[in-house]
Amino acid sequence: MARLNKETLLDWYRQMVLIREFEETCQQLYNEKRITGVYLHLYSGHEAVGVGAIANMEIGKDHIITAYRDHGIALALGVDPNRVMAEMMGRVDGVSGGKGGSMHLASLNHHFWGGYAIVGGHLPLASGIALEAKYNETGAFVICFVGDGATNNGYFHEAVNIAGVWDLPVIWIIENNGFGMGTETSRAAGNPILHERANSYGVKDLGRVDGQDVMAMYEKVNEAAQHVWSGGGSAMIEAITYRYRGHGVSDKQYDTRFSEELEEWKQNKDPITVFRRQLEEKYKDIGSELDDIEAAQREIVAKSVEFAENSPFPDTLEQLYANVYVEES
């Protein structure tokens, strides 16, 4: 377990604030048509899930993969915000050279195997990555984020089952934010208690965790890591969280359809507010340090926008055709 000293906790706070600031800036930039395209899925409201989980990773050794709501994961891992923002805008300095966009961020150095946009499509990839860890006995595990919607398609069944059969070191974290696109989880899942599915596959069921509480999230994923390290194979967690924005930015109905519920979560269960309260209880006079962190993150995001807008668009035929195939084997 990481040492949960003040420095560590402040770093988690920094990551969460950075993600929120980045995401809300993306929304703003989209409204201003400075970020274009139809797909931009924001992580606002989920910050504690990503940050608490990633805090258990040895970055560059352990592996991580997620779906299209991937900006927060990249930032929590420490991927350069400038290059993440440049990818949002499709610029050459983007992490994927402007070819991936919002949904396809990745970083080889961080063992961040990417965001994927086919619902559930990345789940068997997680099992495959875990197979390599087992095959080469690296001692690494894979964190795979799974949206609640993805638990209802065939990929979930096949990927989790094969991880169960082969005892692969995967921590499946279901991010249950209550909606698969615009459909409530309860209207899409025969059994809406999603973590219970683990039992069907011989995967360790670690139950639900409050995904708005970064401390709780950290501890629950640590329990999963202990299970994986003990050679017990994969484990599943259901993190209960909430989405502050629509499924994607083009989803205009969400805020009005669920405004009352949304306000309730924002007022009483906001992960950043919850964590700030925990820190203020634990450390006296920490307020100004937290304020400084917030100001610094605003500055970082503002600079990322500047960096991105100064980066050129790829626009040559050579760039269009680059990397269809690995040229030299």
Partner 1 sequence: MASRNLPMREALRHALLEEMHRDESVFVMGEEVAYWQGTHRVTRGFLEEFGEKRVLDTPISEMAIGGVAVGAAMAGLRPVAEFMTINFAFLALDALVNHAAKIHYMFNGMFKVPLVFRAATGWGDQATATHSHMPEPIFAHFPGMYVGTPSNSADAYGMLKASIRDDNPVLFTESIGLYSKPGPMPDEDEDFILPIGKGNIVREGTDVSIFTYARGVEWATKAARELEQDGVSVEVVDLRWLRPLDTELIFESFKKTNRAVIVEESLPMYSFGSELAAQIQENCFDYMDAPIKRVSAHDVPLPYSKYLEAMALPDSDKVVAAVKEII
Q: How far is the CB of 312 from partner 1 (least distance, A)?
A: 15
Q: How far is the CB of 83 from partner 1 (least distance, A)?
A: 11
> Measured from the CB atom, is 152 or 297 closer to partner 1?
152
User: Counting contacts by CB under 8 A, is residue 186 touching partner 1?
Assistant: no
User: Counting contacts by CB under 8 A, is residue 64 touching partner 1?
Assistant: no
Residue of 116, 172, 179, 254 interacting with partner 1 (CB under 8 A): 116
User: Counting contacts by CB under 8 A, is residue 133 touching partner 1?
Assistant: yes
DSSP 62: B
Which stretches within 153-270 are classed as H helix? Answer: 154-166, 185-188, 214-229, 254-257, 259-268
User: Counting contacts by CB under 8 A, is residue 99 touching partner 1?
Assistant: yes
> Measured from the CB atom, is 126 or 235 closer to partner 1?
126
Compute the distance between CA of residue 168 and CA of residue 250 in angstroms, rounded to an integer.
37
> Measured from the CB atom, is 138 or 250 closer to partner 1?
138
Compute the distance between CA of residue 195 and CA of residue 236 in angstroms, rounded to an integer.
6
> Measured from the CB atom, is 155 or 307 closer to partner 1?
155
User: Counting contacts by CB under 8 A, is residue 326 touching partner 1?
Assistant: yes
CA distances from 209 to 49, 128, 264, 280, 322 (A): 9, 26, 19, 23, 43
- Give the CA-trace dihedral at 20, 126, 237, 40, to 10 degrees: 30
Name the strand (E) or helix (H) holding 317: helix 317-321
Residue of 125, 150, 272, 290 interacting with partner 1 (CB under 8 A): 125
Q: How far is the CB of 178 from partner 1 (least distance, A)?
A: 26
User: Counting contacts by CB under 8 A, is residue 214 touching partner 1?
Assistant: no
Residue in 158, 159, 134 with CA at minimum distance from that of residue 65 = 159
Name the strand (E) or helix (H) holding 205: strand 204-210
> Measured from the CB atom, is 115 or 211 closer to partner 1?
115
> Measured from the CB atom, is 135 or 260 closer to partner 1?
135
- Give the CA-trace dihedral at 323, 122, 173, 80, to 10 degrees: 10
Residues of the shown chain interacting with partner 1 in the complex, contacts defined by CB under 8 A: 63, 65, 95-100, 104, 106-108, 113-114, 116, 118, 121-133, 135-136, 154-155, 158-159, 161-162, 165-166, 322-326, 328-329
